Structure 1
Amino acid sequence: MSIANTEWRHTTRLKGLLAPLGVAGAAVAAFAFVGAVDPNQPGHYPTCPFLWLTGLYCPGCGTLRTMHALAHLDPVAALGLNPLALAMIPFLLFWWGRWVVRAWQGRPRRTTLAHPAWLWAFIAVVMVYWVVRNLPFGAFLAP
């Protein structure tokens, strides 16, 4: 293999990593911002439109406060605010890691995130969570 070909491959790998590293940078910046600007204080963030319109919690309600609690190393409080958001973090890290590995290997991006059955199962979990956290027996899921 020639030196020029090796340099071209190295440059291509680095360019392929720009997108996943950019997403990681944006996620870290957003996490740092939410960690610094307390969502528990009124006026810092807009109200959830679904909560404002209906008085019911959406699946995302409590996520900003969950991330704020994690930024302050309080996983117990984070779990009490939005357990679904907390449970999603390992999956998001896995998919991001898979993206980085594929980019580094020079393999094309996948056009599907996961098998459709997994995506439908995830949607079902979110819908059940949405309903249950608004019922009396699911009050422990409310933020």
Structure 2
Amino acid sequence: MDSKTIPAGKYTYIRRLLGIVILLIAGGILYYLFSPEESSLFPQCPFYAVTGLDCPGCGSQRAVHHLLHLQIKEAFSSNPLLIIAIPYILTCIYLEYFGGKEQYPHIRQSLYSRKAIHIVLLVIILFWIGRNLV
């Protein structure tokens, strides 16, 4: 193998990383420049449109917009579950796409265990019910 040749695994990693970075930057620019509350660019929640009730994801677009403007309180009030879940989500992304599953298999096993999935589902369901009772 020539020293200038990139191994296939490394090439896949670089492509994946570049794709994710491009999507995050494009999405970040879109959510930074336009407020989901005021722009028709962003989809409305079909569950809310039909029932008038908030789903667990309602407010996530507003929360991202507020986070990008460093408005943490507003982001949390838009969707507290999303804000609380960010470390979990980022850890899962790292484990799946950036070599973390080989480096930290015990963490991946814990986060993806049947017990962890049941806990996450329970938290989502309780949040869904709770936010519509308040």
Q: TM-score category by the smaller chain? A: 0.7 to 0.9
Structure 2 match to 1:78: 75
**Could you tell me which amino acid in structure 1 is paired with residue 64 of structure 2?**
M
Over 3 Å counting, the alpha-carbon distance change for 1:20 and 1:42 in structure 2 is closer
Structure 1: 5+ residue stretches without partners: none
Secondary structure (helix, strand or coil) at the match of 1:47 reads: coil
Q: In the alignment, which of 22, 27, 32 is matched to residue 19 of structure 2?
A: 22
Partner of 2:115: 117
Q: CA RMSD in A?
A: 2.7
What is the CA-CA distance between 1:115 and the residue it aligns to? 1.1
Matched, 1:45 2:42: yes
Shift of residue 52, structure 1, vs aligned partner: 0.7
Deviation at 1:5, TM superposition (A): 7.2
Q: Given the superposition, is the C-alpha separation of residues 118 and 28 from structure 1 closer, same or farther in structure 2, using an over 3 Å criterion?
A: farther
Distance 1:103 1:53, change over 3 A: same
Which consecutive unaligned segments of at least 5 residues does structure 2 have?
none
Bigger radius of gyration, 1 or 2?
1
Relative contact order (C-alpha < 8 Å, sep 6+): which is higher?
Answer: 1
**3-state DSSP of counterpart to 1:52:** helix
Identity of aligned residues (%): 28
Give 3-state SS (helix, strand or coil) of 1:45's partner. coil
Quick check: 58-67 or 35-44, which moved more? Answer: 35-44
> 1:103 and 1:5, CA in 2 relative to 1: closer, same or farther beyond 3 A?
farther
Q: TM-score scaled by structure 1?
A: 0.75
